[in-house]
Amino acid sequence: MRRTLFFQRPLPYTYYNATIILVVINVAIFLIRYLAPGFDENIIWKYMPLVPDQVLRLEQVWTVFTYMFVHGDPFHIIFNMLALLIFGIAMEHKMGSHEFLLYYLLTGTLTGVLLTFVYDPMGWGHITVVGASAAIYALLLAYATYFPYSTLLIWGIIPIKAYILVLGLVAFSVIASLFNIMGNVSHLGHLGGVLFGFLYFLIRLRINPVKEIIYTRRYYK
């Protein structure tokens, strides 16, 4: 009989629209930033974004978690929240709200830690990192693991299989990181989300995303 370690114990399946709650929190913080600039300057933008150097000085350690609830501009939050709604609801139904929240928040937080320890030695310790993109990329990996051959429509027009979309996004993030394409985007954060999502499936859920894609392919021949 296979032994289950404490960090592999399944959480009870529940569903309470955690995705909607996350979207509301993100949108509320974004609106407060623009409707109350004084509050934004003194509270939100001062205490929530991730600045690697500050974390390493143990001044704002919590920002490895809070950075994922802050967004820079309308396009940033609209794109992320649409992705969160589309893939978050699907994954919450599949995993249950407790497991979904743990997955989303943990992958985002671990990516924040990764960025801190990578960016600072590179001389980027003073940059500001915000956005839910890392956790969103982890959700994309989860979706591609459970539904690898489902067809998605990019911009509602271009059909593509879920696993191919994730592979394409990972490849683009690697290339963009190496050649500094779209330098204001944390491509390493995207890769971190995929990495920690993969490790979460492998270690906690004992599911190998690569094997799932290969195994599922048998039913699509």
Write the pLDDT tens digit of every residue in 166-218.
999 999 999 998 888 777 889 999 999 999 999 999 999 999 999 888 877 65
pLDDT value of position 172:
95
CB within 8 Å of 178: residues ≥ 6 apart: none
pTM of the model: 0.92
pLDDT of amino acid 4: 65
For 50, which DSSP code?
A: B
Is the pLDDT at 36 greater than 60? The verdict is: yes
Domain 14-220 in CATH 3.40.50.300? no
Query: b/e for 7-37, b at 16 or more Cβ within 10 A?
Result: eeeeeeeeeeebbeebbeebeebbeebeeee
Degrees (nearest 5) of the Cα angle 208, 209, 210? 90
Tell me the two tokens of residue 65. 């978690």
Helix (H, G, I), strand (E, B) or coil at 177: helix
Mean pLDDT of 135-164: 93
Question: Residues of the chain with pLDDT > 70: what percent?
Answer: 94
- What's the confidence (pLDDT) of residue 22? 98
DSSP code at position 16 = S
Residues 45-73 pLDDT 10s? 999 999 999 999 999 999 999 999 999 99
The residue to which tokens 């991730």 are assigned: 50
